[in-house]
Amino acid sequence: MKRREMVAALGGAAVWPLVAHAQQPMIPVIGFLSGRSQDEASSDTAAFHQGLNEMGYVSGRNVVLEYRWAEGRNELLPDLAADLVRRQVAVLAAVGGNNSALAAKRATATIPIVFTSSADPVQVGLVASLSRPGANVTGVSWFDTELGPKQLQLLSELVPNVTVAVLMVNPQSPEIAHQRKMCSRRRGRWAGSCMSS
């Protein structure tokens, strides 16, 4: 499934907690927390709006959207998440990286949080288990870290003369330990290609 489709599904998923509050006459507020910039996430926000619209929620008509952008500065996420909690959003959509979801989780234990994650959400501490996320957190993960060894294998088959491949990662990312673990499992030609910083 493509990222845009995942974010559209997230928009629909963000509506689930609102259904439980349908009796309230107030217009619900959805908080949208992203580690990226508004420009970087334009296709994601369009997909998010599409998912909401498909569920009958139209921004400005029967739902209010509050956006907070960290613009690549993960250190801003805790304050941005706290600001959305103070705004008393009905649900918090945390996208643009695992750090957004972790900041949202730390900011509230009561507001429902729907996240997207590129890592194992159990391993990074977002949920208790995949089958029973627990607490106020649920979401979607595409485990792209698990695909790393396979991607290197495909690269070596497609371009057999390649001798060096570089993977740039954020050393502050909560999934870096898992990436190193996956790297250590590599066999054959790429076994020594993972280096720690």
Same domain, 118 and 34: yes
pLDDT score recorded for residue 12: 57
pLDDT score recorded for residue 156: 80
Write down the pTM of the prediction: 0.65
Count CB-CB contacts under 10 A for residue 158.
8
Same domain, 127 and 67: yes
Domain count, the chain: 2
Show the tokens assigned to 155: 């690269």
Show the tokens assigned to 58: 């139209």
Same domain, 132 and 179: no
DSSP 128: S
- Distance separating alpha carbons of residues 104 and 84, to the nearest angstrom: 9
Q: Classify residue 197: in a domain, yes or no.
A: no
Show the tokens assigned to 152: 């290197």
> What residues pair up with 64 in beta bridges, in sequence order?
29
pLDDT score recorded for residue 101: 92
Same domain, 86 and 155: no
Same domain, 75 and 172: no
- The alpha carbon of residue 134 and the mean position of all alpha carbons in its chain are separated, in whole angstroms, by 17
Show the tokens assigned to 11: 């928009």
- pLDDT by residue for the chain (197 residues), tens only, comes to 455 555 555 555 555 555 554 455 588 999 999 999 999 989 889 999 999 999 999 998 999 999 999 999 999 999 999 999 999 999 999 998 789 999 999 999 999 999 987 677 888 888 888 778 888 998 887 666 566 667 777 888 888 887 777 766 667 665 666 666 665 555 455 444 454 44
pLDDT score recorded for residue 195: 46
Same domain, 75 and 152: no
- Sign of dihedral through CA atoms 78, 79, 84, 87? positive
